[in-house]
Amino acid sequence: MSTKPFGIDVSRWQGSINWDAVAIYEPKVQFAGIRATISWAYMDGWFNRNWSEAHRIGIARAAYHVVYPGVSAKQQMDNFLKVVGDDFGELPLVLDIELAHNQPADEIAAVLLECAAIVENVTSQKPIFYSRASFIDEHITGKGHPPAWLNRFDWWIAHYLRSGEEHQGPPSLPKGLIRDRCLIHQTTPSGAPIGTQSKTMNYDRWQFDEAHFFAYQKDKKVLTLSEKVDLLWTAHPEIHP
C-alpha cells in the first residue's frame, strides 16, 4: 500500500457526504478535489456544502472545472470563478480537460490555455491540469511534437488498473511531460465509499512525500497583506522596538 498522501475527488455523484466519516478514515484523507462547475453555466449542486465541510475538517481543497473546448474560455471561467468566490482553497484551482467534443487539437489547446491565463490572472496561481495520458497524446499532441507548454503546469493524471484496485503508480504520462510535473495520480475510480451515498469514489495519491505536500501548499498560498507584514516582522527582528 502506498504511503504517499491520500486524497479523494468528489462531485454530485457522491450525493450527501458525511465529512466527519472522511475526517476519521484511515489512511488519512489529506486532500480533496471538489467539482465546482462544468462549461459556462453548470454548477455542481453539492459544491458549496462539500467545499465548506472539507474546510471544516481541515483537509486541503482543490476546486475543479470541467472544460468544454468548444465554449468560450471567458464564459467558462466567469462561471467557475463566480462559483468558487474569494476562497480559492489550499491547492490551486484545477482545469479538467478530458472532453474533445470533436474540436481540433489547436482549438482544445487554445481554450485550455486561455482558461489557465484567466485563472492565473485572478488567483496569482497557475491552475493544475487534470487529464489522462491517452487524451493529451491523441487530442493535443496528435502526430506532432508535444507542446512545450505542457511542462509549464502541474498535472493530475488518471491511470487505473482494470481490477479497480488502487494503481500503485507511477502513472503513465503524456508524451513530453516530465515526471516532476505530475503532482497527483488518480489511482482508481472504484474506491470503496468514504462517508458517501455512492457505491464507489475516486482515490488519489500525491506523487511526492508528505513534506512536499505541505511545502507545496505553503509555496502556492497567496498571502494577505497582514500575513506579509507578519512575515516581514518575524524576518527582521532589528526593527522591533
Where in the sequence numbering do the catalytic residues fall?
9, 98
Q: How many Å apart are CA 55 and CA 13, to the nearest integer?
A: 20
Distance spanning both ends of the chain, measured CA to CA: 53
Pairing of strands 29-38, 42-43: antiparallel
Residues with Cβ within 8 Å of 208's Cβ and at least 6 positions away in sequence, in order, are 4, 183, 216
Q: How far is CA 164 from CA 25, 131, 174, 187, 202, in A?
A: 20, 18, 22, 9, 10
201: nearest Cα among 186, 189, 184, 211 = 189
In the chain, DSSP assigns E strands to 6-10, 29-38, 42-43, 60-66, 94-96, 128-132, 155-158, 182-191, 201-206
* Coil/strand/helix, residue 90: coil
